[in-house]
Amino acid sequence: MKHALFCLALCSLLMQAVAQRIHVIPEPATVQEQPGEFILDNSVVVVAPSADEQLTGTISWFKDRIATATGFRLSSAKTGGKTLRIELKDGEKQEGYQLVVSPKEILLTAASPAGAFYGLQTLLQLLPPDIESSKTITRTWAVPCVSITDYPRFGWRGLMLDVSRHFYTKEEVKRYIDEMAKYKYNIFHWHLSDDNGWRIEIKSLPELTKTGAWRVARTGRWGTFTSPQPGEPAGDGGYYTQEEIREVIAYAQSRYITILPEIDVPAHSLAMIAAYPDLSCTQLQYAVNPGSPFYKKDDNALCIGNEAVYEVLDKVFTEIAALFPFNYIHVGGDEAYKGFWDKCPRCRKRMAQEQLKNVDELQSYFVKRMEKLLQRKGKKLIGWDEILEGGLAPEATVMSWRGMKGGIEAAKMNHHVVMSPWEYCYLDLYQGDPAAEPPTYGMCRLSDAYQYDPVPDGVEEKYILGGQGNLWTESIANYRHIQYMTWPRALALSEVYWSPKSKRNWDSFVAKMEAHFVRLDTAHVKYSRSAWNAVVKPVKDNSGQLAVQLSTEISGLDIYYTFDNSDPDNMYPRYTGQPLVFPTGAANISIVTYKNGKPAGEQFTVSKEDLLKRMKDN
């Protein structure tokens, strides 16, 4: 009996040790952990019976990844010894794979080269975090023995990057694609035009990049900048040549990421109008906007009554369609101020000719015409949920950003939907208390991103293609800040879009994420630890006085605080759950979190004045 209990306890300890080694994000469909490990060294042979060209490229990519950190290059010579065997087999789940690791062999089977790529990404996550190093490290490279069966819940797993508000180089875009690929994203939504910059070469319309890609330089808080001054040089910006576009497309394809291009029309078009002023209702000469207030003052919408607009857009989308292989093109369609249309003689004439009741139907006319234009080029139209207004184009796909409502409406009309509701998926929002964050707007915490589901009640899942996180860059002026705003919320969303809903577990995800922070550190990827900060909520006590309620997103944290303007640590008062009232004369509360006696989150200070404002705003 004692021997049996001892064996049971030993097995339990062994399984706990194994469990600590498996930190795969997104969570696979099934994971069967086993004791033992496979040692990856320069004697390992890669065996791939398939002659598939894509798979050959993927194996070459994997060998390069392994060589960078380990210093040895895996061989493909057919010799004895340990093997990494990669096989393609027919299967229903085209992006799925099975990975079985034993001490002598790693066997990866997949239904497609994409599935093999995702399996290799998982294999890299099973290796120590040092595999992310850009320099050779001498160590033992052990892979825990495990059997994993995995496949995605959704076919559309995307991230969007806005390169109009701030321009990012070709190499920075490639790096973003690499970081996406590690977590099994497969759609890169490239927001290539807006009021603040036109970013793609259109050979038949050279002014789009000669004029539209450049604006006056401004630094500081977006939306507060002064307008361009007479004679001020427009030297801030940039664009991608068509050759660079092709290079990025090929780079993404080699990582099984499809690029969705977006040209935002009819509104958000000030950069286009700056290049060709006759395209707006006012036909005034505007400058590319540098981040100064202009809404309802400058006309940033194309004139729907002007036939020249459609001739220009035909040229734009002809070249876009030829460049991008994806069957979708995103046309925006969002946030159109319709006041200029309402007063425009040409738009009023168009409404009369087409028997349109109002300017909402006028925009719908435009979107439906864009759909036909794209169909002639072999493409499908996708747009933001405003394209529902005035009537949805017959075969349009809706990307729902203003909550889930637009997506629900479109799905119930039997249209396909990509869910990206701002309160769960907008990566440019605050991810923690504004007092501890770079300035932006709104709130989307890590737990918000993780706990939402793209399929609302009452909607057939077959109409939900998937979803994506959106990163608008008004407040993001450099690549390090892109990383900080993307990660770890994009880790959460990767699990939302890939993993079975039943496999998602917040506490388990947090534990895995902390392990992945070591990997991100090794790869020099900046990320946010805002989820470890205290959550500060202003409330009123029983007497109506301002009080402060503190909590944390992540369990197991202790909160310490002070009202006396000193820096708290774990020797200060610990928050016990009751709202705190400001002592007489106190103007600020300073807060810090600890975990197991060590600092966990950032210390930050919130003023009484700010809390009163928050209470009023809410």
What pLDDT band is residue 20 in, cutting at 50, 70 and 90? low
Residues 128 and 176 in one domain: no
What pLDDT band is residue 618 in, cutting at 50, 70 and 90? confident
Whether residue 409 lies in the annotated active site: no
Rounded to whole angstroms, what are the CA distances from 355 to 352, 361, 484, 496, 610? 5, 9, 50, 44, 52
pLDDT (average), residues 222-235: 95
Residues 95 and 183 in one domain: no
pLDDT score for 456:
95
Residues 143 and 160 in one domain: no
What pLDDT band is residue 6 in, cutting at 50, 70 and 90? very low
Residues 87 and 178 in one domain: no
* Residue 447 within a domain: yes
Residues 475 and 378 in one domain: yes
**What are 469-502's pLDDT values in tens digits?**
999 999 999 999 999 999 999 999 999 999 999 9
CATH number at residue 599: 2.60.40
Residues 556 and 486 in one domain: no
Could you tell me the two tokens for 111?
A: 């239904």
What pLDDT band is residue 12 in, cutting at 50, 70 and 90? very low
* Residue 528 within a domain: no
Torsion of CA 390, 395, 401, 405, to 10 degrees: 70
d(CA 259, CA 266): 22
* Residue 527 within a domain: no
**What are 369-399's pLDDT values in tens digits?**
999 999 999 999 999 999 999 999 999 999 9
Residues 515 and 438 in one domain: yes
CATH number at residue 14: 3.30.379.10
What pLDDT band is residue 454 in, cutting at 50, 70 and 90? very high
What pLDDT band is residue 219 in, cutting at 50, 70 and 90? very high
d(CA 534, CA 550): 6
**What are 303-355's pLDDT values in tens digits?**
999 999 999 999 999 999 999 999 999 999 999 999 999 999 999 999 999 99
Residues 136 and 260 in one domain: no
d(CA 322, CA 143): 44
The model scores a pTM over 0.75: yes
* Residue 204 within a domain: yes
Catalytic residue among 207, 232, 335, 423: 335
* Residue 214 within a domain: yes
d(CA 406, CA 97): 34
* Residue 236 within a domain: yes
CB atoms inside a 10 Å sphere around CB 227: 17
Residues 293 and 374 in one domain: yes
What pLDDT band is residue 21 in, cutting at 50, 70 and 90? confident
What pLDDT band is residue 17 in, cutting at 50, 70 and 90? very low
Residues 329 and 407 in one domain: yes
Of 122, 150, 178, the last residue of a domain is 150
Alpha helices in 355-444 (DSSP H): 359-376, 405-412, 422-425
Of 107, 127, 150, the last residue of a domain is 150
Q: How many domains does the chain have?
A: 3
**What is the distance, to the nearest Å, from the Cα of residue 390 to the centroid of all Cα atoms in its chain?**
30
Rounded to whole angstroms, what are the CA distances from 232 to 194, 285, 288, 290? 21, 15, 12, 12
pLDDT score for 591:
98
What pLDDT band is residue 19 in, cutting at 50, 70 and 90? very low
* Residue 243 within a domain: yes
Of 123, 150, 177, the last residue of a domain is 150
**What are 242-280's pLDDT values in tens digits?**
999 999 999 999 999 999 999 999 999 999 999 999 999
Residues 87 and 168 in one domain: no
The answer for 9, left when phi > 0, alpha when psi is -120 to 50, beta otherwise, is alpha
- Tell me if 362 sits within 8 A of 304, measured CB to CB: yes
Query: 276: which residues sit within 8 A by CB, 6+ positions away?
Result: 205, 207, 208, 312
d(CA 410, CA 408): 6
pLDDT (average), residues 26-52: 94
Range of the domain at 282: 156-522
Residues 362 and 273 in one domain: yes
Rounded to whole angstroms, what are the CA distances from 27 to 173, 501, 511? 26, 10, 12
The answer to whether the bond into 26 is cis (omega within 30° of 0) is yes
pLDDT (average), residues 32-61: 94
d(CA 141, CA 462): 42
